[in-house]
Structure 1
Amino acid sequence: MQQVVEAVYENGVLRPLATLKLSEGQEVQLIIRSVDELAPDEMLQLAAEVYEGLSETEIGDIEHIAFDRQHFFGEDRK
């Protein structure tokens, strides 16, 4: 059986925020994923919304700045 349960790490121990459906002494396998990390589908959704509501000119200006490596890293353009 698989359960998804939120927990808090305190004083070296994971404390579940909800009651677990486990038998006493039952062994389990934990997969830890921080809540502040985005799932791949959440990242794609955010990426799709980056230019939402901007004009073509604004998008072009942003991309020009983003791709201008000299602006960010002080590199010579070749």
Structure 2
Amino acid sequence: MEVVEAVYEGGVLRPLRRVNLRDGERVVIVIVRGSGGLAEAIRRLSREYSGVREDPLKSLTGGRR
């Protein structure tokens, strides 16, 4: 999992730093407004997914080719 801040402009989420993604690649986005709650959101998500042993993205895309 990677956390990237973004700005919503003109109907598009624009990352505030370069991301390592291919054109057309699908991602899952969790929206947390403002950066004040970002650290808490990361802690909460880390606790929630701490037991995950398998890469969730591979699970989602496993049958797709």
TM-score (norm 1): 0.42
TM-score (norm 2): 0.49
